[in-house]
Structure 1
Amino acid sequence: MQVAWLTLVWLLLWGELTVGNVLGGLLAGLVVVWLLPLPVLDSGLRIHPIGLLVFLGRFAVDMLVSSFRVAFWALRPGAPPVQIVEVRLRSSSEVMAVLITVALSALPGSLVLEAHVRERQLVLHVLGITGDARAVTEADVARLENRILAAFGTRADQEELR
């Protein structure tokens, strides 16, 4: 696959599609891949189609609800309820922690202020949650974490939460 991409780049650099350019690109690609091999990296991500569909559907609903919550507090006179909440993640995977952090930051009304991956802790700024913001936020993050692990986690990630 790397050879194909390198051949495509070669052809784009030469600017014309000829048999000689294709063969030259293939040869250059093979030499580069042979002389400079890339290490095999395992990101730890596994895509589970059913879990991914559930995550995407629920994330779209969360985006909609969060958007309405922020709009409500923005249009309402007075200061909205704002809290800083520390939440502990249950998964120890760094990749999963990054995905959870990105998903939380993408939701309107929540922002990850600090992420302590080794301690499995996130510090969140949440907007518009009345009552016990800590309990509500912890429950929301736990549900999001479960959906992300169901969509992208390895077996070890998923078993860690059981």
Structure 2
Amino acid sequence: MSGRGLTPRLLGRPVPLSQVAWLTVVWLLLWGDLSVGNVLGGLLGGLLVVWLLPLPVLDTGLRIHPVAALVFLVRFAVDLVASSFRVAFWALRLGTMPPVQIVEVRLRTSSEVMAVLITVALSALPGSLVLEVHFGDRELVLHVLGITGDVQATVQADVTRLEKGIVAAFGTGADQEELR
């Protein structure tokens, strides 16, 4: 149950049913046998664990906006394909060194959670690698491969577009307001 008021209590302590269910599934997977005894043992064990060892409530700073997340994922898939083709193009040009540069880009968001997601997304794209992250200055230092022309402007525009998509898909209201 997601609401705090909906979480049942046992002897004054909250018992999050989702955690009990998850621990029961893990218990069943460990035993490898679906039986009434294993299910009851998993429920009892899960109930005991979440009651005796309650986890603190943490706000990760992430919110999932389904439509924006779908738009981001589609755009990210297109970026993955395009950057893969760019790297393959340079890899197949025997005897020619691809253009390689170190570029500093500035993020607009001050959220460290969003910066981490942006860093992971950039590192997942072939031909780019995050070398350094300066959270205080909102800067990333990137190693980019295969981009010609005004590399600084191209990379900054790409990172800004990626940042906008990630914040729209996973950011809080404050994160989204910061980019407006």
Q: Report the TM-score when normalising by structure 1.
A: 0.91
- For 2:141, what is the secondary structure of its paired residue? strand
Residues 95-124 of structure 1: per-residue CA shift (max 9 Å, x gap): 111110111111111111111222211100
Q: Does 1:120 align with 2:138?
A: yes
What are the within-5 Å matches in structure 2 for residues 79-158 of structure 1? 79-158=97-176
Q: 1:27 to 1:144 in 2, by over 3 A?
A: same
Choose which of 44, 60, 69 in structure 2 pairs with 1:27.
44
Count of aligned pairs between the two proteins? 162
- For 1:68, what is the secondary structure of its paired residue? helix
The CA RMSD measured in Å over matched residues stands at 1.6
Cα distance between partner residues in 2 of 1:54 and 1:20: 45
Residue equivalent to 1:42: 59
Residues 49-80 of structure 1: per-residue CA shift (max 9 Å, x gap): 11112111111111121111111212223211
How far apart are 1:18 and its partner, in Å? 4.0
Higher-RCO chain (CA-CA 8 Å, sequence separation at least 6): 1
What percentage of residue pairs aligned between the two structures are identical? 80
Cα distance between partner residues in 2 of 1:152 and 1:92: 14
Residue equivalent to 1:161: 179
Residues 32-63 of structure 1: per-residue CA shift (max 9 Å, x gap): 11111001111111111111121111111111
Cα distance between partner residues in 2 of 1:136 and 1:6: 47
Q: Which moved more, 1:101-110 or 1:111-120?
A: 111-120
Q: Which moved more, 1:100-109 or 1:14-23?
A: 14-23
Cα distance between partner residues in 1 of 2:145 and 2:117: 21
What stretches of structure 1 of length at least 5 have no aligned partner? none
What are the within-5 Å matches in structure 2 for residues 62-77 of structure 1? 62-76=79-93, 77=95
Cα distance between partner residues in 2 of 1:16 and 1:129: 54
Cα distance between partner residues in 2 of 1:89 and 1:19: 54
- For 1:54, what is the secondary structure of its paired residue? helix
How far apart are 1:15 and its partner, in Å? 5.0
